[in-house]
Amino acid sequence: MILAAAADVIPFGPWAMVFIALYLLSMVLIGWLGMRARQENTLRDHFIGGSGVGFFVLLLTLFATQYSGNTILGFSGKAYRIGFAWLTCVHFMTAIIVTYLLFAPKLFKLAKQHAFVTPTDYLQHRFNHRGLNLLATLIMVASLSNFFLAQLTAMGRAVEGLTTLHPETAFAWGVVILAAIMLVYETMGGFRAVAWTDVIQGGVLALGFAVLLVLIFKEYGSMEETTRRLLQSAPEKVRPPKGIELRNWISYIFLLGVGAALYPQAIQRIYAARSAATLRKSMAVMAFMPLGTALIAVLVGVTAAAHLSSELQGASTDAVLGVMLRHVQEQSLFGHAVVVVVFAAVLGAIMSTADSALLSISSMVTKDLYAGFVNPTMEQGALTRLGKWISTVFMVTLAALAVWLNNSGTKLTLVELLEMKFDMLLQLAPAFMIAIHWKGMRSGPVFAGMLVGLVFALSFFWVPAQGGGFMTALKTSGFHPGLYALLLNIVIGVAGSWIENARRSST
């Protein structure tokens, strides 16, 4: 089996290490350039980039932010585990763009009129409800912390899958070194550094996906051969989903299609567009990106399922891409060189998403929590400096947590980490997607719906997967708990607003 050959890894030579080192150092240089391009020492300049970015930069920063380590490592690992049924990821990545179009144009217009910096700025403008601001901000910070932890985990797994070091040692070094580089360029250049590095990372990522597809077909044969092998060894990975699997497929489309559009870093990129036309054109191109990214990750995963042994289990399946690249690396000097480029693409995908998440966390903790509730009179320059320190604290804390979880044996798959936060993020949907179109939505019912929906969604973490009871039946129905919580949230927010409006009109 190919997996057995992975023990004799050909390590990266000095030229490969120089290439990767220069690639990483270029990001630090861009951070310095971003610092030099700073127009003013304000939160909006640091976290949004001032007046905004044009089409090319916006497209690539959206692309690099949306497609992360989860896409390359997590999606291929999931496809390795369940087979072609994971094609649902192509659908939900497309659904994200459809969801954007439901609220992004109006949100962009408001953001330009009122100089929004964080997603909570919209909520303050729309509802002026401190409890709602606090709850929504905590949901977003908690969700992004989870997301950032997933990216740090992906960094460690990327290095773990491509070196001869002990896996735990490789994981720790990968997390520490890459996290430190991100922290340096982000604290120096803020949003400009993140967006400009995304241009490089997005370009390398697009190239990496294209090269990866060619490599996989060249080394492992056509999809026809892969499908035949799977039909013989694991026919369940070829059959279309039905029953609970089909419900799970539909659930993923709604869960991620709505939830990922509510990522704070994605909302802030809506704010950062230079014009409505720029935003519109970027979204139009983004609608086609899943075909060249998520689809390729699925093809990688099912190819691995057909050609590798079944010894990879659980979280270790997220390293399946690394195992495949090791084999490619051993075949020729050209294969070795191409693996270096693909590895750089993997790092680019992970880092471009992680740096955006960290910047959004810092902006919300600084502006919405500290300035909003602790020290409203603090001047902009001091707040910007505080935001950089907050980035440092979150980076160190979550990097240490990622290493500890990996060493402790608590190893969640990247898709499991990805799912956990969407149940929370979904509860923001009524406030952003309904209230932006319906002026009748009231702050009290929206707050109540968000709080009840959040508590209901989180309560499923303690519900056993086996046994009787209503909650267990919901948990095992094939639909994610966050969707049930969202329905309850919408009922409370809409019905409560309707009742409140009726009462007001009658008095």
Of the candidates 360, 421, 424, the one whose C-alpha atom is nearest the C-alpha of residue 394 is 360
Residue 394: exposed, middle, or buried by beta-carbon count in 10 A (0-12, 13-18, 19+)? buried
In this structure, of 167-176, 215-224, 302-311, the range with the lowest mean pLDDT score is 302-311
What confidence score (pLDDT) does residue 8 get?
39
The pLDDT tens digits for 317-361 are 666 777 777 777 777 777 777 777 777 777 777 787 888 888 899
Using DSSP, state whether 15 is helix, strand or coil.
helix
Residue 390, pLDDT score: 92
Pick from 448, 57, 421: nearest CA to 264: 421
Residue in this structure with the two tokens 């905590």, named with its chain if needed: 138
- Does the pLDDT value for residue 1 go beyond 70? no
Which is more confident, 467 or 210?
A: 210
Residue 255: both structure tokens together: 């869960």
Given a cut of 90, whether residue 492 has pLDDT beyond it is: yes
Please tell me the distance from the alpha carbon of residue 133 to that of residue 76, in angstroms, as a whole number: 37
Nearest to 16 by CA among 346, 340, 333: 340
Distance, in Å, from the CA atom of 400 to the CA atom of 156, rounded to the nearest integer, reads 12
What topology is assigned to 2-32+52-408 in CATH? Hydantoin permease (1.10.4160)
pLDDT at 24: 82
Q: How many residues does the chain have?
A: 507
Task: State the Cα–Cα distance between residues 330 and 336, nearest whole angstrom.
Answer: 7
The three-class DSSP label of residue 242 is coil
Give the pLDDT confidence score for residue 410 in this predicted structure.
59
Q: Which residue has the tokens 């898709």?
A: 415
End-to-end CA distance of the chain: 77
Model confidence pLDDT, tens digit, residues 170-211: 888 888 888 888 888 888 888 888 888 888 777 777 777 777
Question: Could you tell me where the DSSP H helices lie in 115-222?
Answer: 119-127, 130-160, 167-220
Res 350: pLDDT: 78
How far is C-alpha 265 from the geometric centre of its chain's CA atoms?
9
- Break the chain into its structural domains and give their ranges: 2-32+52-408, 438-507
Could you give phi then psi for residue 441, rounded to 5 degrees?
-65, 130
| Exposure string for 329-345, b = 16+ CB within 10 A, e = fewer | bbeeeebbebbbbbbbb
Most confident of 25-39, 238-252, 381-395, 483-497: 483-497
Q: Is 465's pLDDT higher than 70?
A: no
* Residues 300/79, Cβ–Cβ less than 8 Å: yes
- Please list the alpha-helical segments (H only) found in 221-364: 223-233, 244-259, 264-272, 276-286, 289-292, 294-307, 320-331, 333-363
Q: What is the pLDDT of residues 98-137, one digit of tens each?
A: 999 899 999 999 999 998 999 999 999 999 999 999 999 9
pLDDT score for 200: 79
224 CB-contact burial (10 Å; exposed 0-12 / middle 13-18 / buried 19+): exposed
